[in-house]
Structure 1
């Protein structure tokens, strides 16, 4: 993965706002911003009028640091810092729901498959959902990428890391497309605005970047749309699996309750006094059980087929002589007792 270091030397006095003093959500667009993402006044107006985004910014102001690293401290001023922070908070609003969705998908997949290896979790999903799950699993397996999704660290470094690789750009693009999709695993409350407008800002940043250029955006779009479709399918499959697991858990709970009420000790097994534990069948045992059921079904189907053929087949004409010959002839000879 290519990592860039962007240094901007500016002669501006260093001013650091207090940790709990969040900058105003009303910003003025400026072309002198060191951020690669320049938001237009109408886009900033959308963010400033969003209750959900304002609440998110207040939360980040209380729990996240405004401190810039030594490399970006030279660009620390109220204007430039505000530009870094608004983009940092926007990235947080876009990327964190995707990470939470992936973590939820891992939990559901673990419950559905009882997999002992992380690479086996993908078998809980099918089609585009599995592809999206594997892609997210590979991307978020890196601690650096996960920290970036949670926008941890220097705000300027977080913003610049967006353009570090095709994978981060692709995830951000897909997250913008998903900004209109309701995430069922997030807490209820004020909703965030649609971030579709940020796609234009991302496109401009890529065009001005010497590493990517103008053609990269067009080449990356198809992959980003495929990722978006896969993640949306992953959401639906997670919901379906969650319902199935909940129903299975409630059924097992009911059966356990019935068995416990009939037992002398409701908490302990009377045989050895240990807590009741559900024994998981091995893959070979499950396969053998399935083959046994299939074999029984096949035998039953063949018997039904033979019965139908015999019932529809005309009875052959029988020769009376042959019938007479076939009849058993029994003769009894009395034995005279010897005197």
Structure 2
């Protein structure tokens, strides 16, 4: 995924002086045996040539910790750079997914006016809803959010990548998403594709006693499904943004016409004033229904105009029902909205 580096990341960090105590996260010429992940020399060189990743590393060196926890000190202190580069790759992979989910939550809240978090999913359909629910479950844990934002000890962040099937699945899907180029990508410094990291992930899983050699292959279909769902979620968020930005046309017959209607679906339970945005076919059917009713009314009035002289002359019986009663004899039920189950 060609992605623009966050706007809040600036190149000011590149101007730091040599006297700073905080070590600068410079890319080494090679990264041997960064446990549990391995990076090839050519992969490190590719990262070093990516402007977006260099800016990201400068930002992380300025604002993120370089202190190892007691469990990883002093054994890994001399190999700190090996942990840092993998930590920075994880940050580049995971943070965009979290920010996408937070964006989706905001769009869903505006679209549904939901009062409960569990109702936000109704803003989306199909694979997008599945991906949204999966991310919602995973990111509801502060521990998992901290891991995605790489907020703790760099070595702990790297180790946590293999903590569960869910973390591996998200990391795998994030690698796949990094290789997708969308037409709406903003120009500017971008992060490179991290497809190469899948090989490092596969090797780490195979070497892990908990998972074994077959686990990576078994995980692939789930990761692909998550990737597809997230892609669909992105597109549905864009579509909702367009709909939300369009002015609504209030229904003058509704006492709640001053309340902006949701373009997708009202809260679960059908709160008054919240209507589903009608499709083109539904709007056309309603227009035809109005035209039909108008035609019937005109025809009945013409017939009455023709019969009225004969009725007044006593040549035909007086109608037992008024014209208004005839016009209102049809069903009075109309469907204004359909709330998807």
Partner of 2:44: 44
Partner of 2:32: 30
CA deviation after TM superposition for structure 1 residue 174, in Å: 0.4
Greater Cα shift, 52-61 or 183-192: 183-192
Partner of 2:272: 285
> For residues 186 and 217 of structure 1, what CA distance do their matches in structure 2 show?
30
Secondary structure of the structure 1 residue equivalent to 2:247: helix
Q: TM-score, normalised by structure 1?
A: 0.70
> For residues 46 and 139 of structure 1, what CA distance do their matches in structure 2 show?
31
> For residues 149 and 185 of structure 1, what CA distance do their matches in structure 2 show?
24
Equivalence map 1:295-314=2 (5 Å): none
Q: Is the Cα–Cα contact under 8 Å of residues 128 and 233 in structure 1 kept in the other structure?
A: yes
Secondary structure of the structure 2 residue equivalent to 1:84: helix
Larger Rg: 1
> For residues 70 and 211 of structure 2, what CA distance do their matches in structure 1 show?
27
Secondary structure of the structure 1 residue equivalent to 2:28: coil
CA offsets 1:292-323 (integer angstroms, 9 cap, x no match): x9999768758979999xxxxxxxxxxxxxxx
Partner of 2:73: 73
Q: Alpha carbon RMSD of aligned pairs, Å?
A: 3.4
CA deviation after TM superposition for structure 1 residue 225, in Å: 0.1
CA offsets 1:44-90 (integer angstroms, 9 cap, x no match): 11111111111100000000010000000122334x11110000000
Q: Is the Cα–Cα contact under 8 Å of residues 19 and 62 in structure 1 kept in the other structure?
A: no
Structure 1 unaligned blocks of 5 or more: 1-16, 253-276, 309-325, 329-339
Secondary structure of the structure 2 residue equivalent to 1:71: helix
User: Larger relative contact order (C-alpha < 8 A, sep ≥ 6)?
Assistant: 2
CA deviation after TM superposition for structure 1 residue 42, in Å: 1.0
CA offsets 1:78-122 (integer angstroms, 9 cap, x no match): 4x1111000000000000000110011111111111111111111
Secondary structure of the structure 2 residue equivalent to 1:56: helix
CA deviation after TM superposition for structure 1 residue 227, in Å: 0.2
Q: Does 1:206 align with 2:213?
A: no
Structure 2 unaligned blocks of 5 or more: 1-18, 251-256, 278-282, 300-313, 317-341
Greater share of helix: 1
> For residues 182 and 289 of structure 1, what CA distance do their matches in structure 2 show?
33
Partner of 2:155: 156
Q: TM-score, normalised by structure 2?
A: 0.69
> For residues 242 and 184 of structure 1, what CA distance do their matches in structure 2 show?
16
